[in-house]
Chains A and B, each alone.
Chain A
Amino acid sequence: MLPLLRSSLHHSEAIDPTLAEWIRNEIDDLVGLEPSSIVAILGVVILAFPLWLGVAAIRRQRRAASEAAIRSAHEAHQPN
């Protein structure tokens, strides 16, 4: 394997194929599941964070709109 295909894992260059194969073997030994099952499990883990973050951000924006409306109403009722 030529040098630049080995990874330092310091930034984002390609993983060392030896390491990739080892990871695969270890996961196989550890869980003993079909590839499709592992894909499903890892897929859920990967997708969970952005979905949670998106929902949290939307809820925050709704709360902001609500707070702004309350503030506006409060200021409108205050005497000059």
Chain B
Amino acid sequence: MAAIHDLECRGVRKRFGAFVAVDGVSFGIPSGSFFSILGPSGCGKTTLLRMIAGFEEPSEGDILIKGRSVLSLAPNRRNVKLVFQHLALFPMMNVAENIAYGLRCKGVARGEIARRTADVLERVGLPHAGSKDIGQLSGGQKQRIAIARCMVLDPDVLLLDEPLGALDLKLREQMKIELKMLQSQFGTTFVYITHDQSEALVMSDRVAVMNHGRFEQVGAPRELYHDPVTAFVAGFVGDSNRWPGRVLDRDPAGVRVETDSGLTLAACEAGGVLRRGDAVEVFVRPESISVTGAQATDATDATDGSGEHNRQAGRIEGTLFNGANSRILVRTSTGEQVEADLPQRGPDIGFENGAPVVLAWERTGSKCFARAGEDPAG
């Protein structure tokens, strides 16, 4: 018997007419963790969140908070608080009134309200903001007040619906860290909804990747990044080179794949057993590929997909400079375009456009999945 989860969903399904927005989602979130639901827009993550908050009723399944079903509870009776996408701070109240609102609804005594309001403002680092109007706050301050307004009520779970979406990039980076700090400081379970993988990866203890109403994979950010179990996760989380192809043959260590443009690769099966001739997609992360300079002559010989290592010759087409994350674009001799990390150290190679290079990566760096819509068994 597992420990009681702060939030647990069991087979939750939601239909809008013929459309299934959430399709049998089950998960449990242990106390005090930062859990993200990551998915493209329209994947059903907001509907799931609204069911947890009580604004929608599941068509099937059960939702439990601290081990008790909350389906029969009205939204205002659930101890689950929600930070809205546009924060939904009440414009006709000042900061302190916004925070006091929930306490007043609970019937907390006046003095106690003042004390707790001041306390939570202190904790979010805005001790003197109580008398300010909402319009006087900056984007980041509003963010913190929206969280404070929920946290002052001591919720079992705090839901956050893409609250960083409206902020500019710099502030968003800063708020990611701040949110993470706030979460560990309050120790409350956060459920964070986002379509931005970097937000999910940076802040979360665990991330669920959602697509078409289902969870594709749930795991720690590291697992999702390095061991995706579906093609969707491999493509959605992090950057990858992505090539469609077919299985040429199997060997004990994995498969050999020929891409549609004729490149032969050694790959490993990441999403289940494949058979010869299956349509597949191969994902290779840019940082798995090492780039070395080459003489134009060995470049053609270097192409080799038969062994444990992949080696491909090609010519540089361009450089994408981005500091530590700089990349180069290489056109292989078979015509594929490959993105690879620019080596930061090592022999000084003249990475000019048109220069011949050799790309190399381990077999485990090529993740191979049956192509979406084509059952590997079929």
A and B: real partners? no
Q: Which residues of B contact A (CB under 8 A)?
A: none
Which residues on A are within 8 Å of B, measured CB to CB?
none
